[in-house]
Amino acid sequence: MQRPSADQLAYTQPQLYINGQWLGIDGRQAEDVINPATGAVLARLPHATPADLDAALTAAQRAFCGWRAVAPLERSRILRAAAALLRERADAIAHGMTLEQGKPLREARLELLASADTFDWHAEEGRRNYGRVVPGRHLHQRITVLHEPVGVCAAFTPWNFPAITPARKMAGALAAGCTLIIKLAEETPATGLALVRALHDAGLPAGVLNAVFGVPAEVSTYLLDSPIVAKFSFTGSTAVGKQLAQQAARSLKRATMELGGHAPAIVCADAEVERAADMLIAGKFRNAGQVCIAPTRIYVLEPVYEAFVHAFLERARQLTPGNGLLDGSSMGPLANPRRVQAMRSLIADALERGAQLQCGGDAMAGPGYFWQPTVLTDVPEDARVMNEEPFGPLALINRAHSVDEALERANRLPYGLAAYAFTHDSATRMHLARGLQTGMLGINSLHVSMPEAPFGGVKESGWGSECGIEGLQEYCSIKLISED
Ligand code: NAD
């Protein structure tokens, strides 16, 4: 019998979590969890059977009656206790995240701590989920508006942020008084399960939260076809979001969807070029570019174009891709061979159409799914990569002759998740703030994601928001009571 590797020993074996019980393979279908930095198998992941999904639905439905009646103060206590456990366990959880997802340990730790903050923020906001009293039409009429939990929710989360994305959905649903069945990404199960474990250990009642895995389309179809589910939340590609929206429309389920992006960044003539390059490098190559809000189409105004490209390339060449567990690795691998293939085909197409390769451009030798940090300039707008989300370590820099030209090109795509601009001129800021078709805009900043502010897109980048008071309301329905 083969001995388990050190990575396997350090990695928590994933299980299903249904009605407060942890369930292993035990005859179920299973799949391998792969370390993308080495290609080695970390664990076998059980798939939920239809009977498991039924059990999760029944448990969530039953638990809803109790959880909605739990005082917000008590719900808050559980979320805060879970946040504290996450902080205590941060090092071990981050280690597991790097093993299964590949990102450098430092990024994994920061993501985990941000997830704890997300639990804390919702713990507090859930206590302030106020309704209101509307003045009546006559002296004795009393009109009250209540915010009530929507009911049983389903959530589907991807592999790129295995902690923060599930944390947003769990915290929002639970703080509002909803119960939840979450299908975590099969590629990165241990991190999401560590959040579930923290809530379990903090005293979350059985059935309030259930975590499952399986063939994504089969699980989502099963859950979205169930009359028990009142609402779903999905983070992933626009193509899958559209499929889920169609399925859920059959029973008019409510939806929150955070889908693809292709964020433009406009570097104006008055921008601080070195500072803009620092921020855009960090934003672009974080998580090997597998970030829905990563700045990707960079439009630089003519007067600062050469200086910006020089500063950006200087920094891109200093990046050191490598196993995220090793000191000195500043960028991890891609999630899977599909992403490597996608990079290869998008870059080949851009070069054929006349783009200039400034650095990178190929997979890296050795094990794992590493791709070199890549910069293309002069990329024609009809290149596939200017139209499809690359979701990899690939920056596209183009010259613009005016702010209006950059604005028009920025708005050209059906996406509208995040956008960035670098300028200190107040009139230009105002013009871009009004004109950019986006859900989130960073001006001289890439910080658009924090628990207290709404995170979401417009156009085909999604519906609704996560986090902020807006995000909590996505898990609430409105009830009007008129009394005489
Ligand atoms: P994919 O579209 O196959 O999967 C993306 C995610 O959606 C995965 O987590 C997958 O498990 C899930 N998914 C797929 N089909 C589903 C279904 N029918 N029901 C429920 N969940 C389903 O693509 P991929 O190769 O894994 O990732 C590539 C693309 O996905 C990227 O180019 C990017 O556009 C998108 N993506 C976006 C985000 C985001 O944060 N918005 C995250 C991950 C991936």
Q: Whose CA is nearest to atom 35 of ligand 1?
A: 237
Residue 4: per-residue pLDDT: 80
Residue 105: per-residue pLDDT: 98
Separation of 416 CA from ligand 1 center, angstroms?
17
What is the C-alpha to C-alpha distance for residues 226 and 209, in angstroms, rounded to an integer? 17
Q: Is 386 exposed, middle or buried (0-12, 13-18, 19+ CB in 10 A)?
A: buried
Separation of 259 CA from ligand 1 center, angstroms?
9
Q: Which atom of ligand 1 is nearest to the CA of 159?
A: 9
What is the C-alpha to C-alpha distance for residues 348 and 352, in angstroms, rounded to an integer? 6
Residue 196: per-residue pLDDT: 98
Name the catalytic one among 292, 460, 467, 476: 292
Q: Hey, which of 237, 296, 415, 455 would you mutate to test ligand 1's pocket, going by the most ligand atoms within 8 Å of its Cβ? A: 237
Q: Whose CA is nearest to atom 5 of ligand 1?
A: 236
Q: Which two tokens stand for residue 310?
A: 């020089």
What is the C-alpha to C-alpha distance for residues 359 and 351, in angstroms, rounded to an integer? 13
Residue type, 270: D
Active site residue 292: yes
Q: Which two tokens stand for residue 183?
A: 């299908």
Residue 470: per-residue pLDDT: 98
End-to-end Cα spacing for the chain? 76
Tracing tokens 């855009």 back to the chain, one arrives at 280
Separation of 8 CA from ligand 1 center, angstroms?
26
Output the CA–CA distances (angstroms, integers) from residue 248 to 32, 192, 222, 252, 457, in the order listed.
30, 24, 11, 6, 20
Residue 163: per-residue pLDDT: 98
Separation of 257 CA from ligand 1 center, angstroms?
12
Classify 197 in phi/psi space as left (phi over 0), alpha (psi -120 to 50) or beta: alpha
How many Cβ atoms from other residues are within 10 Å of residue 329's Cβ?
A: 22
Active site residue 258: yes
Q: 3-state DSSP call for residue 418?
A: strand
How many Cβ atoms from other residues are within 10 Å of residue 449's Cβ?
A: 18
Name the catalytic one among 111, 125, 186, 258: 258
Output the CA–CA distances (angstroms, integers) from residue 452 to 130, 168, 267, 470, in the order listed.
16, 11, 27, 10
Q: Which atom of ligand 1 is nearest to the CA of 390?
A: 32
Residue 5: per-residue pLDDT: 86
Domains of the chain: 6-259+461-483 (3.40.605.10), 263-451 (3.40.309.10)
Q: What is the pTM of this model?
A: 0.97
Residue 223: name the closest of 247, 246, 242, 243 by CA. 247
74, 54 in Cβ contact below 8 A?
no
Separation of 302 CA from ligand 1 center, angstroms?
36
Q: Hey, which of 161, 229, 232, 240 would you mutate to test ligand 1's pocket, going by the most ligand atoms within 8 Å of its Cβ? A: 240
Per-block mean pLDDT, blocks of 10 residues, the chain (484 long): 80 97 98 98 98 99 98 98 98 98 98 98 97 95 98 98 98 98 98 98 98 98 98 98 97 97 98 98 98 98 98 98 97 96 98 98 96 98 98 98 98 98 98 98 98 98 98 98 96
- Ligand 1 site residues (CB inside 6 A) read 156, 158-160, 185, 216-217, 220, 235-237, 240, 243-244, 258-260, 292, 338, 389, 391
Residue 190: name the closest of 14, 446, 339 by CA. 14
